[in-house]
Chain A
Amino acid sequence: MKHITLFISLFFLWMLLTFSLNAYNIIVGLFTALIVTLLFGHRFLQDWKKFYNPLRYIWGLIYVVVLIWDCIKANFDVAYRVLSPKMPIKPGIVKVKSSLKTDIAKVFLANSITMTPGTITVDIIDDYFYVHWIYVSSNDPAVYTEKIIGRFEKLLKKVFE
């Protein structure tokens, strides 16, 4: 079942990517999806039942909207720091503890941190995220943990866990 889920999603992606109902395209797509499924199927989501829960998709959509909004904010933030003559930066690497457990949720959290204003993930070791921050605005771990991952952590827990 896990393999079938992966196969169908890969084939769907292939059809979108080529976007033509040519017999040649379909056959190549089926073969490619089959090979990838056989090679990497065991690495796909451990708990594939979560894939068919519609509630998770709704939370995923909310997460995407929040992420896009943060991306736009991040761009204006970086543009301001780059263009202002004094260049207001105060960089540093801080350690942030997250309560997410599954690997895929951690990957998404790391990517979200990279796209949010002024922060970029350096490394993940167990539950700790090491984050490079362009303007370290507080020295209290509780405050900056909330500031960096607070809003994403809650949403990702609903989407992936």
Chain B
Amino acid sequence: MNSISIFLLIVGIVFDLFGCIGLLRLPDVYNRLQSATKCVTLGTCSILLALFLHYGFTSVGIKALIAIPFLFFASTVGAHALIRGSYKFGIKLTDKTVIDDYKEVSK
């Protein structure tokens, strides 16, 4: 059980790292949010799951388990609010963009 929890911990940290690399490398705010939400959410969920396996059904373990759905909803709704807000604010999409259907309705 201990080795599974260490494995999950390592996976979580690696994916958090990938998310941060994506935050630096990708071209604009919209693409950066993609890496920030996906990698960082699953990375952190993995760390919390490792915590649950380590502590079992105690106060700390259950709290870690309940934090997973909270984190999930907070990060998806937060990403949604950020991406919509930055579009309304007028931040341009990158030059590589091929299609923009949102332009006509965002006026």
Using C-beta atoms within 8 Å of the partner chain, give the interface range for chain B.
Answer: 35 or more
Main secondary structure of the interface of B (DSSP, over half): helix
Determine how close the nearest CB of chain B comes to the CB of A32; give it in whole angstroms: 15
Give the chain B neighbours of A78 by CB distance below 8 A: 18-19, 22, 34-35, 38-39
Q: Is A10 an interface residue (CB 8 A)?
A: no
Which residues of B, 60-107, contact A by the 8 Å Cβ criterion?
62-63, 66, 72-73, 76-77, 79-80, 83-84, 87, 93-94, 96-102, 105-106
Cβ contacts under 8 Å, B79 to chain A = 114, 120
Q: How many A-B residue pairs lie within 8 Å, measured between CB atoms?
A: 122
Bound-state CA distance A62–B75 (Å) is: 22
Contact pick for A16, options B30, B66, B98, CB 8 Å: B66
Q: Which single member of A83, A93, A120 contacts B99 (CB below 8 Å)?
A: A93
Query: CB within 8 A of A120: which of B26, B83, B93?
Result: B83
A82-B22, A115-B72 known; 11 new pairs, CB 8 Å cut-off, are A74-B42, A78-B22, A78-B35, A90-B98, A91-B94, A92-B100, A95-B102, A110-B80, A120-B30, A123-B105, A123-B106
Listed by A's residue number, 17 A-B pairs whose Cβ atoms lie within 8 Å are A13-B66, A17-B62, A78-B38, A79-B18, A82-B18, A83-B21, A89-B96, A90-B98, A92-B98, A93-B100, A94-B99, A115-B37, A122-B87, A123-B84, A123-B102, A132-B83, A134-B34
